[in-house]
Structure 1
């Protein structure tokens, strides 16, 4: 191959690169992407107000009234979503969350061989029916700083069913509270 042939090949290659480069600049100016003011995607979440869990629970029917029509069987079915983090059988292991056997009227943030969050320990008290209702409505609203990442159970009847199931899931189930008139 002589030098003339080599010059033609290199010239064609260089010419092709220049055409591609010019077309890239032209396409970039015609179809320019506008950068967002803030990089990334915004994820819309419901804003929590102070005492959000208590306010949401107060707006619903009282738990005493809801428990009168609650179904343990429906509660067992609804509690299946909790099994990703909790166990319910006596002596069951802790997972991401503690075992919930006999949780009704038990001390909050203590025992069970589980390392509870500082917020849960600081809240203290016992798990009453009303407190379970408020917590299951909005865990982070009832106990700000809790490690429980679950958003809550918005439906009153489903919450009551779960609480009835938790109550029945004990060696000595607590008597259901009576609805006040």
Structure 2
């Protein structure tokens, strides 16, 4: 089922927690999210700050892997350099992932680099 406008708006609000380190386009302390879905973890072109653990994780980002990682990043990838402890609420995580999917979809304003 497609996300509704309220869920997408909530996801965008939740993304503000991520925006201290990430952006849809352009690397910050963390890698950009443009091109996230279908990308292997630790491989965003031009981002050099990945931990060895993230590079070796074997994760390919999709809804399932994002659900698991965003619930508890340090438990999912021990040794990750991401300091955020996670989005514990299931509804918030679902809204965030729905918004990320929308914001980074083909045809959106983002351009993977």
- Tell me if both proteins adopt one fold, taking TM over 0.5 as the criterion: yes
Which runs of no fewer than 5 residues in structure 1 stay unpaired?
1-64, 174-181
Cα distance, 1:154 vs structure 2: 0.7
Matched, 1:71 2:7: yes
Answer yes or no: is 1:144 the counterpart of 2:74: no
Looking at structure 1, the residues matched to 8 and 56 of structure 2 have their Cα atoms a distance apart, in angstroms, of: 31
Query: Is contact 1:76–1:162 with CA below 8 Å preserved after alignment?
Result: yes
Aligned to 1:96: 29
Q: Deviations over 1:87-144 (max 9, x none)?
A: 11xxx32111001113122221113311211001101231021110111000000000
2:18 corresponds to? 82
SS for the counterpart of 2:15 is: helix
Alignment length, in residue pairs? 105
Correspondence 1:105 to 2:41: no
Structure 2, unaligned runs of 5 or more? 108-113
Structure of larger gyration radius: 1
1:128 is aligned to 62
4+ aligned runs moved over 3 Å, structure 1: 67-70
Higher share of residues assigned helix = 1
Give the alignment of 1:26-45 within 5 angstroms: none
> 1:106, 1:127 within 8 Å by CA — same for their partners in 2?
yes
Tell whether the 8 Å contact from 2:70 to 2:86 is kept in structure 1 after alignment: yes
1:148: how far off? 0.1
Distance (Å, rounded) in 1 between the aligned partners of 2:26 and 2:84? 20
